[in-house]
Structure 1
Amino acid sequence: MRRHGQPARAPQPHPIGHEYGEYGFLVGSLIDRATLERAEAEALLCDVPTHEVLLATGRVSQLDYATALAHRLGVPNVSWNAPLDLTDAVDWPATEIGLPARLAGRPCRVLAATQAPPSMLSGHVAALRGQGVDVVLASQLLIDAALEAHAGPQKIDRAVRGLLRQQPASSAGARVSTWQMIVAVGAVGLLIGGLAVQPDATLAALTALIALPFLCVTALRVVALRQGLARPAARTRPGGQRAPRIPVRFLPVYTVLVPVFREANVLPGLIQSLRALDYPPAKLEIFLVLEAVDTETQAAVAKLALPGNFRSLVVPEGGPQTKPKALNYALQFARGDFVVVYDAEDRPQPGQLRRAWDVFRQSPPGLACLQAQLNIYNPRQSWFTRQFTIEYSALFDAILPALEKLRLPVPLGGTSNHFPRATLVDIGAWDPFNVTEDADLGVRIARLGYQTGVLASTTWEEAPPVFRVWLTQRTRWLKGWMQTYLVHTRQLRRLNSELGLPAAIGFHALMGGLIGSALVHPLFYLLLVFHWLSGNLLAPSETAAGAVMWTIAFINLAFGYAVSILVGVISVWRRRRPDLAVHALLMPLLISFAAYRALYQLARDPYLWEKTEHGVGS
């Protein structure tokens, strides 16, 4: 993989002889001959330099390798506490050999020990010395740490304000548009005036109007039943199909980003799940992305014996403290051709990366993202986990595949999103001001003309088992969906132009329908209770307006519930969890409570990130 200072055209290798070959200088002091031979064989299969295998598998540490190689090349090795100044290297061209630096005040050129094989580095050293340049060697970890110290403010600024500067209309960091404010105020005024002048007609009109979100969501679920559950396409079938055995030399370098915030308790399980990924370590880099304020998790990570392809990255303070900001910061250090995001409690199927690459390589260039299917590994822990399992099964096994088939915007889940890195950077990555950056990114992908697919591989997640944790998570989701809907409806004409009218209608039905139905759901219950208390629940209405209200309410509740329950029942049945089907009735009012809490937060504290606790009750 590319390193800082790796030239575009490497010079001719310079001889660096040893009886055991190019890496023989490691034998005896760091590894034995058998270990070297195994690493060389693996490197040949992966088509990477031998040192990348040794480092990625943890057989040799970066610091030890740099020390041994510096001794072999006869150049100074920069120690971890040395005063290495890389101020001039922040914008240094990648085509140049090494990075300009100052060591204890003296100018020099620093080479990363892992940027090329030893023979190639030997040639670099000879070339630079021939130009009268002092050369020092350092580990890539040390160089990255020094660059972070100097470039950190610039990188955090890009992480926070990059999208806002490049695409201000696409960021939740910008203000609500004037027309949106006018519509909101005007709607409230019309409602108050109508209730004062013609209360019956106003209530009938209001009932018909608020029925629209229910009808939209119901229509979407009907499509999901027909499209997503009839005969799913090969790449959308749930389950654990074995990943295709693509020769490892053809596999790209993959970067895994895992934001971890106040989750020291789940680190052992996380590391175990990531180590289980069926992907060559020499082509896999894994970032544990930590927050500067979270010293507890930093200390826990420091105590772990992590493999060589793992790295912890601390996000500096600045801007909103959100997951998308952390991801934007970490993305600037990623060197993989493809990027995937996992959460700290995730358990992805081991073959997921291989399967994603197999789909990408067979798909047109316009495929910007693959969303793996999410499901729950603690479905029977509590009533809430059972509800969560039903929702996830319906969403990822039925609704999202239906959206993909219909070429509608696909709101991503917050984890297991696979991207070509260049495409992700091109579309602006994540919005740090949106607390459901995943849903927003899915819509932006569609607006920019790219596609999202659903991947036939499951990532198992932990569902919140108690109401307190469920409420904060659901509030954040609903607030983020409100942010996303407001952002993408700022310029309706542009939205229709970029998506096309059918997809734009689908966006309103999905995002607007989910938000609207959550907010108006209690009103339908109140209407039923009012008729029941007045003794008119089953009595014919005396007015046309009353008949309209009753008919709309009854059809929405009966048909909407029936379709919603049917999607959930079939989805959990396909997941071989039929015992959960009876629990598909009871969640809507709690979601409505979370929706009003989200609406309050949106007005009071729009960028508040209520972190979901994991490992609760486990």
Structure 2
Amino acid sequence: MRQGLAEPSPQSTALPVEIGFLAHYGHAPETLRQAAILARFAGVPADEFLLKHDLVDEDEFYRALAAELRLPFLVSPRLSQSARYPDSLLAGIAPLAGLQAGFVTAPRGTGLVRLLGTRLRSGELAVTSPSRLREAVFRAQGRQIADRAASDLARQAPELATGLSYGQIAALFIVLALTAFGIGHAPGTTLAIMGAVLGPLFLGMTVLRLVASVLDHPVAPSTEAPRAEDAALPVYTIIAALYREKRVAATLIRALSRLDYPAAKLDIKLVLEADDRETLDALQDIDLPGNMEIVVAPEGQPRTKPRALNVALPLARGRFTVIYDAEDVPDPSQLRLAVARFASLPPQVACLQARLSIDNTDDSWLTRLFTIEYAALFDVFNPGLAEIGSPIPLGGTSNHFRTSVLKAVHGWDAWNVTEDADLGLRLARLGYDVRDLPSSTLEEAPGTLGVWMRQRTRWMKGFVQTATTHSRRPWVLLRQLGFWRFCGALVLTWGIVLRALVYPLFSALFLTSWFFGTTGLYTSRWDNVAWFYSLTLFLSGTAAIMIPALVALHRRGLWRLWPWLPLLPFYYGLVSIAAWRGLWELATATFRWNKTSHGHARTSRAGLAQKHQASVDSTRSLKTAPP
């Protein structure tokens, strides 16, 4: 790189202002001109195109800018405590420490053009790169950033934040005490009362699952939307929270690099925890594309995925934001399809939920059943809920949001360990809708019972958190949702929790009475009513398990999994064990996040499973090239 200034050549004068100065510092004018043309086709500033396509190193670009403006370049700016998050980063300028220190800037786009146009030369201004500015802001405001990520929702909307009220705690203890006393002294009457009280919730869940099964929601879009020009596409933010994910880091980078979307319009943020050196080292071993940045969340509590997502959300520059997990492999066309769907939907549709599909189906009997469960949930149940206008507990990944709405509802609840389900209910309460996105994301299922149980325990604990949070003031929930959506919310929170808790007990009692007791046909009228009521619950509940699974296997073309369907009742018995474990954890380790380890898949339905080292080797030199 040449350190001095040179007279501009005739070729360089035709270049856009934001990159033309690079011709003075060793970059070929013809290369810069071609980049400028491609940037116009993509609809982005020329500097964004150069940097996100790795045509110029970020530090090299901003060092050249500093030399052009005859300003100092700061490698590690020391910022004043008045630096603001995220404002300083979004604006690209922050105050330096010291009374006479001035400011440091990392301009982009129009800000870069203005700075080059004014040719400001001041002892109070210095230049750095966007990455170095971000690190400086996090150093200066780490405590405030951590506090905001953990507490913004509770501070701004306490009525929607996770927590048990004193009334709920008292009611819970009273119900448990009365139930234990009743089972000990009058088991028949107590179980009859429990069946009468819980029956409507269970029947509600059954009706929702069966109605969803008869609605037509194919796995792929029925008609393909016209392909939009790159210039017409908006900036899209991708956030992926990673913790101890060195096994799958390279695979994630590879999957995101395969997305069919202009690289210069992708704003990809990989969020790590401060103590996760192994994942950081794995990412640094990969030549990350220029549209990906590593955001290290400041130390703080709770140590949960939603807190990490909240750290990155204020920095999102895209019109839309999608969340992916570390092991995800989304369909390459998913972002384009989401943009087209959002454009055709009213503004109150805040989120599109893509379909999650298990890739390592053949690893074990457990992954086969997990595949059936996910197919029924994401290919049948959730699309059906979206069509009838019900609230939807979101899945933990492949949620596509309108970024403005996501920021307005204060992101995720950092203290809820199923932040996805909570956010789905919160969106419904605030007047927003969730719709289905018929595009698949491949996921890795836990292959062993121990890992599966820890994951499912966390999920069930989070569902209890969600149910209690959103029923603290039921009259408010009723007013916000209306009667039918209110009923749907109860079914999808308390219904899921209570059904899991009592499923083995009620099933065992019914089967015992069927095989070893009287059928009730020759007893009193009320005995007959109770018998047929329990028979209805049992048979409809079984149908609600089997029919969505059959429909889902048909839609996915997974008929070879049919022989595993009879094991589903036993699988949901394991879910019940996880629910009871979740209740115990709620009392003993309320906010503990049971980490699910990834990168252990041995099989792949899509042929994408690879050994870790092969994946690292294939992505070490991966860069996103210009079209």
**What is the TM-score normalised by the length of structure 1?**
0.89
Question: What is the aligned counterpart of 1:41 among 19, 26, 37?
Answer: 37
Cα distance in 1 for residues equivalent to 2:362 and 2:433: 35
Q: 1:489 to 1:541 in 2, by over 3 A?
A: farther
Q: Following the alignment from structure 2 to structure 1, what is the Cα–Cα distance between the partners of residues 548 and 58? A: 52
CA shift for structure 1 position 400: 1.2
Find the aligned partners of 1:259 and 1:30 in 2 and give their Cα distance.
38
Distance 1:204 1:550 in 2: 10
- Alignment partners' CA distance in 2, 1:297 and 1:30: 35
- Establish whether residue 557 from structure 1 lines up as the match of residue 557 from structure 2: no
Distance 1:97 1:308 in 2: 20
Q: 1:200 to 1:24 in 2, by over 3 A?
A: closer
Cα offset for 1:242? Answer: 5.4
5 Å-filtered alignment, 1:174-573, equals 174=163, 176-195=164-183, 198-226=186-214, 228=215, 231-232=216-217, 237-238=219-220, 244-528=226-510, 530-531=512-513, 535-536=516-517, 542=523, 547-573=528-554
Deviations 1:386-422 (A, max 9, x none): 1111111111111112211221111110001111111
Q: Does 1:135 align with 2:129?
A: no
Q: Residues 591, 103 of structure 1: CA spacing in aligned structure 2 closer, same or farther, 3 A cutoff?
A: closer
Matched, 1:76 2:60: no
- Tell me the alpha carbon deviations over residues 92-141 of structure 1, each in whole angstroms, 9 at most, x when there is no partner: 97799973544798523323143547653222433xx4xx6533221111
Matched, 1:595 2:579: yes
Q: Are the aligned partners of 2:305 and 2:414 in contact in 1 as well (CA < 8 Å)?
A: yes
**Residues 199 and 307 (structure 1), Cα distance of their counterparts in 2 relative to 1, 3 Å cut:** closer
CA distance in 1, matches of 2:354, 2:90: 39
Residue 37 of structure 1: how far off its partner (Å): 3.2
Superposed CA RMSD: 2.7
SS in 2 for 1:332: helix
Q: Per-residue deviation at 1:599? A: 1.1
2:58 maps to 1:62: yes
- What secondary structure, in the 3-state scheme, does the structure 2 residue paired with 1:525 have? helix
Deviation at 1:194, TM superposition (A): 4.2
Q: Confirm or deny: 8 A CA contact 1:243 1:352 kept in the other structure.
A: no
Structure 2 SS opposite 1:336: coil
Q: Deviations over 1:183-240 (max 9, x none)?
A: 32332344355456654333333333343443222111111123x3xx33xxx75369
> How far, CA to CA, are the matches of 2:504 and 2:90 in structure 1?
64
AA aligned opposite 1:463: A
Q: Give the whole-Å Cα distance in 2 for the aligned partners of 1:161 and 1:298.
A: 26
Q: Which moved more, 1:65-74 or 1:193-202?
A: 193-202
Contact 1:30–1:60 (Cα < 8 Å) also in 2 = no
User: Are 2:150 and 1:168 equivalent residues in the alignment?
Assistant: no
Unaligned runs of 5+ in 2: 1-6, 603-627
Show the counterpart of 1:11.
none
Report the AA paired with residue 495 of structure 1: L
Letter in 2 for 1:559: S
Aligned length: 589
Deviation at 1:291, TM superposition (A): 0.6
Partner amino acid for 2:151? R
Using the TM superposition, give the Cα deviation of residue 544 of structure 1 relative to its aligned residue in structure 2, in angstroms: 5.9
CA distance change for structure 1 residues 183 and 68 in 2, over 3 Å: closer, same or farther? same
1:265-320 CA-partner distances (Å, limit 9, x unpaired):
10111001000111111111111100112111112112211011111111111111
1:253 and 1:284 in contact (8 A); partners too: yes
Task: Tell me which amino acid in the other structure corresponds to 1:470.
Answer: W
Deviation at 1:598, TM superposition (A): 0.8
Cα 1:72–1:422 shift into 2, 3 Å? same
Q: CA deviation at 1:88?
A: 3.5
User: Matches of 2:279 and 2:82 in 1, distance apart?
Assistant: 33
**In the alignment, what sits opposite 2:102?**
108
Deviation at 1:331?
0.8
With the length of structure 2 as denominator, give the TM-score of the two structures.
0.88
- Greater CA deviation, 291-300 or 519-528? 519-528
Q: What secondary structure is seen at the aligned counterpart in 2 of 1:519?
A: helix
Q: Which SS does the other structure have where 2:446 is aligned?
A: coil
Rounded to whole Å, the distance in 1 between the matches of 2:124 and 2:176 is 72
- The alpha-carbon distance between structure 1 residues 256 and 93, as it changes in their structure 2 partners (threshold 3 A), is closer
Is the CA contact 2:93–2:107 (under 8 Å) kept in the aligned structure 1? no
Alignment match, 1:159: 149
Please tell me whether the aligned partners of residues 236 and 265 of structure 2 are also in contact (alpha carbons under 8 angstroms). Answer: yes
Structure 2 residue matching 1:585: 3-state secondary structure? helix
- Does the 8 Å contact 2:88/2:94 carry over to 1? no
Q: Are the aligned partners of 2:520 and 2:527 in contact in 1 as well (CA < 8 Å)?
A: no
CA contact (8 A) 1:380 1:386 kept: yes
Equivalent pair of 1:445/1:451 in contact (CA under 8 Å) = yes
- The CA distance in 2 between the partners of 1:117 and 1:427, in whole Å, is 29
Unaligned runs of 5+ in 1: 1-14
Q: Secondary structure at the match of 2:244?
A: coil
Counterpart contact for 1:51–1:114, Cα < 8 Å: yes
Q: 1:180 touches 1:490 (CA, 8 Å); kept in 2?
A: yes
Change (3 A) 1:525 1:91: closer
Q: Identity across aligned pairs (percent)?
A: 38
SS of residue matched to 1:85:
coil
Alignment pair present for 1:123 and 2:117: yes
Q: Is the 8 A contact 1:69 1:118 kept in 2?
A: no
Residue type of the alignment partner of 1:399? F
Residues 16 and 157 (structure 1), Cα distance of their counterparts in 2 relative to 1, 3 Å cut: farther
CA distance in 1, matches of 2:309, 2:222: 28
Report the AA paired with residue 82 of structure 2: D
Equivalent pair of 1:290/1:315 in contact (CA under 8 Å): yes
Amino acid across the alignment from 1:615:
G
Alpha-carbon distance between aligned partners in 1 of 2:114 and 2:10, rounded to the nearest angstrom: 15
Is 2:236–2:318's contact at 8 Å kept on the other side of the alignment? Answer: yes
Shift, 1:584, TM fit: 2.4
